[in-house]
């Protein structure tokens, strides 16, 4: 089995977080549709490209890459066994033969040197314990002049899709939300850190594009509540509550999300960075 150094992340994603994502796969992909579309526009894949998708999850972006790189090859890597199994099922159902999925820790996995023309990631590169080492390792697997295109979250307080349910489920408790610069959702929220990490890893031409698009929690309020409470950091807010308090917290979540219900579903603001760089 390939070496795993991000053991805490592996425990989460090869466990409850990965299983919860598989269960809400369709809704999650719908929520991130606009992020995915812009990421792939920026990646500007060609038909002969060899592509690496880091933190590929159930393979939504991996399959999208494979449909473009028809004469190339696409490799998706992730820590979650359950998500990778679903990714393989989806690729087979789509008849894609130029795509492969591998359970691997991209921080240390020995990617074939100089092979990837393009590296993409949809919210999969914020979780490295040592991001400079991880990107240097990824870079060694890239061709000369290869390009990197990833999307990462901005600060917590700029992402209502996280802040609103967090505040509701916290029930007034003084709980600290995820912070920038720590392995996790906001790990690469700070632009200065992004420049420093990628520069140290040997990348050049680092640029960040501000992406402000809605995050769609579901087609109706019931779906939105169900999805919001299954996001990893939200599950932790409910985990230590007794049944009555947890029920009140979910009621508060419903009220908070109802304020964002539209004709298209429950939508909240999100802010992300589209990060590009060259090897």
* CB neighbourhood size of 209 (10 A): 13
Sign of the C-alpha dihedral computed for residues 230, 235, 22 and 5 taken in this order: positive
Token look-up 């939200």 returns 234
What is the Cα–Cα distance from 27 to 211, expressed in whole angstroms? 20
Delineate the domains of the chain, giving CATH numbers in brackets.
7-156+177-217+268-278 (3.40.50.150)
C-alpha separations of 121 from 6, 20, 27, 106, 253 in Å:
17, 20, 19, 11, 30
| Tens-binned pLDDT, residue by residue, of the chain (279 aa) | 579 999 999 999 999 999 999 999 999 999 999 999 999 999 999 999 999 999 999 999 999 999 999 999 999 999 999 999 999 999 999 999 999 999 999 999 999 999 999 999 999 999 999 999 999 999 999 999 999 999 999 999 999 999 999 999 999 999 999 999 999 999 999 999 999 999 999 999 999 999 999 999 989 999 999 999 999 999 999 998 999 999 999 999 999 999 999 999 999 999 999 999 999
């Amino acid at each position: 089995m390939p070496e795993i150094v991000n053991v805490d992340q592996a425990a989460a994603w090869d466990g409850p977080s990965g299983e919860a994502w598989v269960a809400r796969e369709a809704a999650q992909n719908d929520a991130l549709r606009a992020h995915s579309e812009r990421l792939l526009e920026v990646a500007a894949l060609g038909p002969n490209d060899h592509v690496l998708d880091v933190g590929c999850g159930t393979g939504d972006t991996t399959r999208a890459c494979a449909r473009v790189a028809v004469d190339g090859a696409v490799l998706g890597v992730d820590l979650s066994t359950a998500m990778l199994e679903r990714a393989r099922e989806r690729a087979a159902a789509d008849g894609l033969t130029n795509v492969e999925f591998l359970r691997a820790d991209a921080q240390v996995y020995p990617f074939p040197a100089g092979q990837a023309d393009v590296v993409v990631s949809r919210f999969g590169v914020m979780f490295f314990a040592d991001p400079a080492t991880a990107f240097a390792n990824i870079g060694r697997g890239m061709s000369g002049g290869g390009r990197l295109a990833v999307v990462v979250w901005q600060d917590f307080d700029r992402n209502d899709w996280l802040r609103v349910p967090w505040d509701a489920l916290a029930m007034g408790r003084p709980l600290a939300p995820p912070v920038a610069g720590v392995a996790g959702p906001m790990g690469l929220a700070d632009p200065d850190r992004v420049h420093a990490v990628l520069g140290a890893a040997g990348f050049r031409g680092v640029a960040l594009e501000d992406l402000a698009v809605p995050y769609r929690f579901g087609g109706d309020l019931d779906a939105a509540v169900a999805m919001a409470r299954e996001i990893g950091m939200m599950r932790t807010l409910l985990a230590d509550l007794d049944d009555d308090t947890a029920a009140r917290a979910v009621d508060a979540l419903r009220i908070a999300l109802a304020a964002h219900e539209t004709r298209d579903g429950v939508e909240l603001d999100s802010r992300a960075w589209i990060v590009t760089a060259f090897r």
